[in-house]
């Protein structure tokens, strides 16, 4: 799975978007991994409460985080909006040395700077080499920025349009609309903070 | 997914939740509207059901049989690939590499995500791309669920009954060596105009690739965009099983 890759948007917006995921390695550290994942989730959640989820279970807008943590299987996701919290979390995860893999997505310059500050030497990276094929079928860029925050493609562009319309008609508050968009993304990789900012831009 | 016409009150709340726009409102009679799912377009992702916006609980998941069951396996992340025994759309790829040692220096991991972002695609498009890649001598990742869909894993030819099935996305995974990369990227460019849907391309490498690796240079020379953002494995995993 590559569900935190290919997030589109302008640099300023992406500077507030750092999904973090953990994943067990089957056959190497999966036995008894549930408790280790829970310990790591508790660390991460001290530094961010924007989103939290496990795609085999639910996200925090569908289920209480404590319940999600009791059901962990292979990994979880959280999202950070600033480097300070991300670095602090990275440092604690490194220090606690629990042993499950952690991946952070975001602007390479920003994430690698955070790694340096946390004294972490990342062994591997993954690059996105663009979208190809019949691009006429793509959502316009301002909607694609929302849609690509769920790598499984569960956040509908139609829902983005609906939320924009409903905010304009004062049927739903902006922050609640951002949360509504986060709900279908089971993993918890969707960034509602960034979504709220993007929605604000769209209703202007 | 299906909508029980007896229960549906035609409120239309479910319509916008569908990622592929498969839910429509229609007039059952001049006084009554209903929501209906276009089964050919539906990818069985389950978003409409999980959204819990249907007050009369008219949306339901029917029993799915082969080959339609493939739609759900590739579109609903809550579902494990029972037919293949592999969970998720792809594999652990680079996420656990510091533990598994799967990717080594001297080659690159690649993935082609058919239908992503936000469009979905028919598996016949996946076959077109897979056959083009197979023509360049790549070997499909044996643990990836897509590989189990092939009738012939050497050519990328699909089981014929799967071609018309639509999924939110499916990932073709493989490794390329230094002598293959340029040809593989060119084949992706060639096939780009021959598919109905979109596809995203991923490249797994080492951090130093950004400064002095040949792969990004080749990609840029061929006109591939290299996003400023991506994934970074922090290297915090280790072997723990006894």
Averaged pLDDT for residues A98-127? 97
B-chain residues near A5 (CB < 8 A): 200, 202, 230-231
Q: Are residues B88 and B174 in the same domain?
A: yes
| Residue B1: DSSP 8-state | -
**pLDDT above 80 (res B125):** yes
Q: What percent of chain B has pLDDT over 90?
A: 84
Q: Are residues B116 and B186 in the same domain?
A: yes
Averaged pLDDT for residues A131-139? 98
pTM for the whole thing?
0.96
Sorting pLDDT into bands at 50, 70 and 90, what band is A98? very high
Within a domain: B164: yes
Q: Are residues B56 and B94 in the same domain?
A: no
> Rounded to whole angstroms, how far apart are CA atoms A166 and B132?
45
Q: Are residues B99 and B203 in the same domain?
A: yes
Within a domain: B102: yes
Q: Are residues B40 and B124 in the same domain?
A: no
Averaged pLDDT for residues A149-161? 97
The answer to whether residue B212 neighbours chain A at the CB level (below 8 Å) is no
Mean pLDDT of chain A: 96
pLDDT at residue number B87: 56
Q: Which of A132, A138, A158 lies closest to B188 in CB terms? A: A132
Q: What confidence tens digit (pLDDT) does each residue in B46-55 have?
A: 999 999 999 9
Q: What is the dihedral of CA A65, A70, A76, A80, to 10 degrees?
A: 30
Q: Are residues B37 and B151 in the same domain?
A: no
**pLDDT above 90 (res A105):** yes
Contact A81, A64 (CB under 8 A): no
Sorting pLDDT into bands at 50, 70 and 90, what band is B28? confident
* CATH number of the domain encompassing residue B92: 3.90.1170
Q: Are residues B134 and B213 in the same domain?
A: yes
pLDDT at residue number B93: 83
Which A residues, 87 through 116, put their C-beta within 8 Å of a C-beta on chain B? Answer: 90, 93-94, 97-109, 111-112, 115
Structural domain boundaries enclosing B95: 81-221
pLDDT at residue number A73: 82
Mean pLDDT of chain B: 94
ipTM confidence:
0.97
Averaged pLDDT for residues A77-84? 98
The answer to whether residue A136 neighbours chain B at the CB level (below 8 Å) is no
How many CB pairs below 8 Å do chains A and B form together? 294
Sorting pLDDT into bands at 50, 70 and 90, what band is B30? confident
- Provide the 10 A C-beta neighbour count for residue B89: 28
Sorting pLDDT into bands at 50, 70 and 90, what band is B31? confident
In order, the DSSP letters of A148-176 are: TTSTTS-S-HHHHHHHHHHHHTTSS-HHH
Q: Are residues B192 and B150 in the same domain?
A: yes
Q: What confidence tens digit (pLDDT) does each residue in B69-121 have?
A: 999 999 999 887 765 455 567 788 889 999 999 888 889 999 999 999 999 99
Question: Per the CB < 8 Å rule, is B226 touching A127?
Answer: yes
Pick the residue with more confidence: B63 or B213? B63
Q: Are residues B155 and B43 in the same domain?
A: no
pLDDT at residue number B92: 83
**In this structure, what token pair is assigned to residue B92?**
């652990």
Closest among A124, A201, A130 to A167, alpha carbons compared? A201
**pLDDT above 70 (res B137):** yes
B-chain residues near A120 (CB < 8 A): 234-236
> Rounded to whole angstroms, how far apart are CA atoms A118 and A94?
8
Q: What is the dihedral of CA B136, B152, B193, B191, to 10 degrees?
A: -10
Averaged pLDDT for residues B184-196? 98
Give me the count of residues in chain A: 204
| Structural domains in chain B (count) | 2
> Rounded to whole angstroms, how far apart are CA atoms B183 and A4?
27
Which A residues, 159 through 198, put their C-beta within 8 Å of a C-beta on chain B? Answer: 159, 161-162, 183-184, 186-187
Give me the residue spans of the domains in chain A.
Answer: 11-117, 137-203
Q: Are residues B127 and B212 in the same domain?
A: yes
* CATH number of the domain encompassing residue B12: 3.30.70.20
Which B residues, 92 through 151, put their C-beta within 8 Å of a C-beta on chain A? Answer: 92-100, 103, 109, 111, 113, 115-120, 125
pLDDT at residue number A1: 52
pLDDT at residue number B180: 96
pLDDT at residue number B105: 87
pLDDT at residue number B82: 64
- What kind of fold does domain A11-117 have according to CATH? Alpha-Beta Plaits (3.30.70)
Q: Are residues B137 and B217 in the same domain?
A: yes
Averaged pLDDT for residues A49-55? 95
Sorting pLDDT into bands at 50, 70 and 90, what band is B58? very high
> Rounded to whole angstroms, how far apart are CA atoms B32 and B68?
31
Within a domain: B185: yes
**To which residue do tokens 């983005």 refer?**
A160
Within a domain: B241: no
Q: Are residues B87 and B197 in the same domain?
A: yes
Angle in degrees, 0-180, between the axes of helices A83-96 and A33-47, rounded to the nearest 10:
150
């Amino acid at each position: 799975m590559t569900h935190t890759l290919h997030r589109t948007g302008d640099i300023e917006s992406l500077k507030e978007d750092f999904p973090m995921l953990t994943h067990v390695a089957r056959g190497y550290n999966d036995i008894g991994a549930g408790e280790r994942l829970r310990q790591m989730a508790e660390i991460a959640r001290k530094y961010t409460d924007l989103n939290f989820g496990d795609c085999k279970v639910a996200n925090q807008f569908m289920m209480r985080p404590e319940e999600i943590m009791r059901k962990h299987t292979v990994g979880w996701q959280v999202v950070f909006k600033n480097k300070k919290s991300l670095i602090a979390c990275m440092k604690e995860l490194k220090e606690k040395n629990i042993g499950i893999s952690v991946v952070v997505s975001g602007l390479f310059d920003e994430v690698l700077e955070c790694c340096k500050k946390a004294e972490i030497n990342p062994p591997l990276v993954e690059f996105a080499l663009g979208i190809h094929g019949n691009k006429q079928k793509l959502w316009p860029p301002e909607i694609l920025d929302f849609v690509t925050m769920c790598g499984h493609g569960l956040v509908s562009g139609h829902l983005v349009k609906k939320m924009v319309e409903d905010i304009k008609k004062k049927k739903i508050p902006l922050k609640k609309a951002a949360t509504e968009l986060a709900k279908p993304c089971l993993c918890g990789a969707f960034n509602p903070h960034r979504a709220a900012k993007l929605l604000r831009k769209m209703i202007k | 997914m299906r909508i029980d016409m007896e229960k549906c009150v035609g409120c239309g709340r479910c319509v916008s939740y569908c990622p592929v726009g498969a839910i429509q409102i229609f007039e059952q009679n001049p006084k009554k509207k209903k929501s209906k799912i276009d089964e050919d377009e539906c990818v069985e992702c389950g978003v409409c059901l999980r959204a819990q916006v249907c007050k009369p609980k008219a949306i339901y998941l029917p029993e799915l049989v082969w080959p339609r069951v493939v739609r759900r396996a590739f579109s609903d992340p809550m579902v494990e690939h029972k037919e293949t025994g592999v969970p998720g759309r792809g594999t652990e790829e680079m996420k656990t590499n510091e533990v598994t040692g799967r990717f080594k220096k001297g080659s690159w991991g690649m993935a082609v995500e058919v239908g992503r972002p936000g469009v979905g695609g028919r598996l016949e498009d996946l076959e077109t791309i897979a056959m083009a890649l197979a023509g360049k001598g790549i070997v499909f990742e044996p643990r990836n669920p897509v590989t189990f869909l092939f009738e012939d894993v050497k050519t990328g030819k699909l089981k014929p009954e799967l071609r018309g099935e639509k999924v939110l996305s499916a990932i073709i995974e493989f490794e390329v060596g230094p002598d293959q990369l340029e040809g593989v990227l060119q084949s992706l460019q060639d096939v780009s105009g021959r598919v109905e849907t979109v596809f995203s391309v991923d490249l797994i490498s080492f951090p130093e690739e950004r400064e002095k690796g040949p792969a990004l240079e080749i990609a840029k020379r061929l006109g591939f965009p290299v996003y400023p953002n991506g994934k970074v494995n922090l290297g915090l995993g280790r072997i723990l099983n006894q």
